[in-house]
Structure 1
């Protein structure tokens, strides 16, 4: 649910937004049918912004979910932990709750988790690239 102030008409400024429970009921990542990944934008280029943001949820599976980044993205781990591996360079790291992550454009990242992880992301992309 998005709540938006109604001051735009009276002040000429774009109001800020607050969205409640946007992490609930995320759509299944159908392009990765062997994984238990869920993702959804909360804000898709609002008011012409270059940015999109939303939530990414992953449950444990035997194989990692590999995602190709055609744009720069940052994530904040909200819950759980992600095991991250750059499939091209072999770099491996663990990101836990409250950690910040940056993926540069062109990265191919293998995501896995020992049990569950939830992250909030912001990407410098058009909404059609999710």
Structure 2
């Protein structure tokens, strides 16, 4: 017996070059830092996730970010110096390292030169 589906399969998505020319994070919210971030996919096809790229350049000031959602990152290039002053945790995440930030994490990001990561977060697009 053959069962025919009346549903159409949802196509997957591929986007090239999305890591290039990322928008700069606002100086008013992240003073003294050079962070760049942009979603590639914002809750695509009704998903609860958003994903994109985060780039950081070396500055004297670390970039502070408080997570209002769960997020995972994969470092693609360079390295991030990560610090959570509440827990005392400090770590260097290098290329090909995977990172998980649980909701509520308060993280200071810095880099000795440059770092680029891909992220996926459990959030609505308006929380970036």
Structure 2 length as normaliser, TM-score?
0.92
Distance 1:99 1:113 in 2: 15
Deviation at 1:33, TM superposition (A): 3.4
Deviation at 1:109, TM superposition (A): 0.3
RMSD across aligned positions (CA): 1.2
Deviation at 1:63, TM superposition (A): 1.0
3-state SS of the aligned residue for 1:128? helix
**Structure 2 residue ranges without an equivalent (≥5):** 1-5
Task: Determine if the alignment matches structure 1 residue 18 to structure 2 residue 35.
Answer: no
Structure 1 length as normaliser, TM-score?
0.90
Distance 1:73 1:105 in 2: 8
Superposed CA deviations along residues 2-22 of structure 1, whole A, max 9, x for unmatched, are: xxxxxxxx9611100110000
If you compute each CA radius of gyration, which structure gives the higher value, 1 or 2? 2
Runs of 4+ in 1 over 3 A off after TM superposition: none
Distance 1:11 1:119 in 2: 36
2:25 corresponding residue in structure 1: 29
